[in-house]
Chain A
Amino acid sequence: MIEFLAYLAAATIVIVGIGVWGYKIGKKTAVDYMIAGGALGTIVSYFWIAFVIYSAWTFFGFAGYLYLRGPAYHLYPFLAHLGFAIAIWVIGRKLFKAREKYGVITPVEALSRRYGSNFVRVMLAVILITFIVPYIGIQITAIGAALQAFVGLPYIAGVLYMAAVMLILIYLGGMRSVAWANVMWGTIMMLAFLGSLAWVVSASGKSIPEMAVALYEKDPVKMGLGYYTISYAMSIAIAGFTVFCWPHVLQATLGMRSEDVLKKVTFAWLVIGGFAVYLGAYLWGNIVAPYLSPGLTGKAADVAVLVTIKKFTPSAWVMFVILGVLAAAISTAATQLMTAAIFTSNDLIGVARKTMRDEAKILWTKIICAVVVALSTIFAYLYPVEIARMLDLIASPGYSMITAALLGLFWRRGTKEGVIAATIVGVLLLACGLFYPPLTLELHPVVVPLSVSLVVFFVVSLVTPPPPRECLEAFFEEIQRPSSD
């Protein structure tokens, strides 16, 4: 425990330093506080985006799925890599242009301009905030549980530490500090996750191919498709692909300095994700942990990676890995928290109060951060088991319900009526599927609601009058022209 507390103290000092630095150089404007002035370069933007995405789930949930049921779940992050590349470059570039031209600071604001509708803005903001809150709770839960199981700290101590660190970062430096902190968290996580893989494989005396062959001889099904039906495996892939809707990832694209940065981040995302992080995650969950730590069942499988690391490395390294898990969780949750607060202050309160000074926007963002942290912490404390199921069943599928709205960035005929109908139908079906599982047709929960939502979007858009000409010109033609200033 002493080693962990020493690591934690060092990381906390760095975090406070980043927060204070962000506070000192911040210009105290809404744009500066919420999207770091739109001035972030390639390295910080890469770490910001990548480690918003790689969360505690990479260590726990994902590895646990592979460990228990075989490799088909790898289709989710696999296709998600393509989905995120599309989010950063294809959608992100549109949002970036809207920021350049009209000064929008959230994806929701850009979409409301596209459809010329404040109702669309409020509806999308409410839906996204609703799905972000439990996601933050998942990260907090994971940390509380990990610190309790592996370090011996009380569950509530981990939960409160995480809440405090997020608030320090956000209160002092806003999105700039959160983004820069991700550079540190991301480096720690990569070292812990991939360094442990190399260390454990080397210490075990077996090569990865030898482990794969041994596992195949023991259970050929699990090394093949695994315990999934082919149709469910395909639906997992579809669910993975839909991550291009994740609001905190789209929000991050608005903080980048130029299109060139967007381009480089997209490429770095594919290379590092494909040949390091998720390759490592797959090897951990499907081969190394099942071979070296067999026999874990149920929720115990979620910590298969940590159990394996504990067997083969000294305790000082295990404590560093726990810090890596904490890093993964905080880097994700802090950005999500900031995103939820920005959506509330900019797209809900901002719509209700037409003229709002920057100081008021920043103050509201801080207040909402505290409220969201309190709500997520209470959820994490009271419902740790239920909240753990929410990422797969609710949070990520919930974000996908804005797919129709995003399609309108590329399809001129899409109307606000189409978006409203599609989003409401999709969310209702998602909620119904949660309480009445036969509605999902034994597929991933996102597939049926998303398919129906898209059909509704196209049909309603085609039978309603086209969007106002000025909205289309503003978003499809004017936006392409370089700014005069």
Chain B
Amino acid sequence: MLCICAFTLLLMVVVWPFVAVENPLFFGWMPSMLAFHFVVFSIWVVSWGVYLFSKPKKRRGETK
């Protein structure tokens, strides 16, 4: 979870500003911020969803 958050932070904070200067519109119509918004939020929602709602692993020796 930490790795995913760090990766997406890097993507948004470090990569987007440089991409936005060179390539403001993706596919000729989509603002780069909009594209990054969708991608990064999708990653967050999926990863947080898995992190929050997956069942915790059983500790060693733990029984039902």
Question: Does A85 count as interface, using CB distance less than 8 angstroms?
Answer: yes
Within 8 A of A (CB), among B25-64: 25, 28-34, 37, 40-41, 44-45, 48-49, 52-53
Interface size class of A (residues with CB under 8 A): 35 or more
Q: Would you call A82 and B5 a contact (CB within 8 A)?
A: yes
Question: With the chains together, A85 CA to B41 CA distance in Å?
Answer: 12
Q: Known contacts A212-B25, A230-B17: does B12 contact A75 (CB below 8 Å)?
A: yes
Question: Does A418 count as interface, using CB distance less than 8 angstroms?
Answer: no
Q: Known contacts A72-B17, A274-B41: does B24 contact A267 (CB below 8 Å)?
A: no
Question: With the chains together, A90 CA to B4 CA distance in Å?
Answer: 16
Q: Would you call B33 and A213 a contact (CB within 8 A)?
A: no
Question: With the chains together, A267 CA to B54 CA distance in Å?
Answer: 13
Q: Would you call B37 and A234 a contact (CB within 8 A)?
A: no
How near does chain B come to A71, taking the closest CB pair, in angstroms?
4
Interface window among A9-17, A171-179, A279-287, A451-459: A279-287
Question: With the chains together, A346 CA to B22 CA distance in Å?
Answer: 53
Question: Does B3 count as interface, using CB distance less than 8 angstroms?
Answer: no
Q: Would you call B33 and A234 a contact (CB within 8 A)?
A: no
Question: With the chains together, A266 CA to B49 CA distance in Å?
Answer: 9
- Count residues of B near A (Cβ-Cβ below 8 Å): 31
Q: Would you call B29 and A212 a contact (CB within 8 A)?
A: yes
Q: Would you call A225 and B9 a contact (CB within 8 A)?
A: no
Residues of B within 8 A of A81 (CB): 41, 44
How near does chain B come to A443, taking the closest CB pair, in angstroms?
13
Question: With the chains together, A226 CA to B17 CA distance in Å?
Answer: 9
Q: Would you call B48 and A286 a contact (CB within 8 A)?
A: no
The contact string, 1 if C-beta is below 8 Å from chain B, for chain A 36-76, is 00000000000000000000000000000000000110110
How near does chain B come to A21, taking the closest CB pair, in angstroms?
32
Within 8 A of B (CB), among A266-294: 266-267, 270-271, 274-275, 279, 282-283, 286-287
Q: Would you call B12 and A267 a contact (CB within 8 A)?
A: no
Q: Would you call A71 and B31 a contact (CB within 8 A)?
A: yes
Question: With the chains together, A237 CA to B15 CA distance in Å?
Answer: 12
Q: Known contacts A209-B30, A237-B12, A241-B9: does B20 contact A270 (CB below 8 Å)?
A: no
Residues of A within 8 A of B9 (CB): 79, 82, 237, 241
Closest to A271 in B: B45
The contact string, 1 if C-beta is below 8 Å from chain B, for chain A 223-261, is 111100010011001100100000000000000000000
Q: Which of A79, A224, A266, A271 lies in contact with B20, CB distance below 8 A?
A: A224
Question: With the chains together, A282 CA to B38 CA distance in Å?
Answer: 12
Q: Known contacts A225-B20, A225-B21, A263-B53: does B29 contact A213 (CB below 8 Å)?
A: yes
Closest to B18 in A: A230
Closest to A229 in B: B17
Question: With the chains together, A286 CA to B31 CA distance in Å?
Answer: 10
Q: Known contacts A72-B20, A216-B25, A282-B33: does B14 contact A234 (CB below 8 Å)?
A: yes
Residues of B within 8 A of A225 (CB): 17, 20-21, 24
Closest to A226 in B: B20
Question: Does A89 count as interface, using CB distance less than 8 angstroms?
Answer: yes
Q: Would you call B33 and A286 a contact (CB within 8 A)?
A: yes
Q: Which of B24, B28, B29, B49 lies in contact with A224, CB distance below 8 A?
A: B24
The list of the 4 closest CB pairs from A to B, nearest first, reads A224-B24, A274-B41, A209-B29, A71-B33
A–B complex contacts, Cβ < 8 Å, 28 sampled: A71-B31, A71-B33, A72-B20, A75-B16, A82-B8, A209-B30, A210-B29, A212-B31, A216-B25, A216-B31, A220-B24, A223-B24, A224-B21, A224-B22, A234-B13, A237-B9, A237-B13, A238-B13, A266-B52, A267-B45, A267-B52, A270-B41, A270-B45, A274-B41, A282-B33, A283-B34, A286-B33, A287-B31
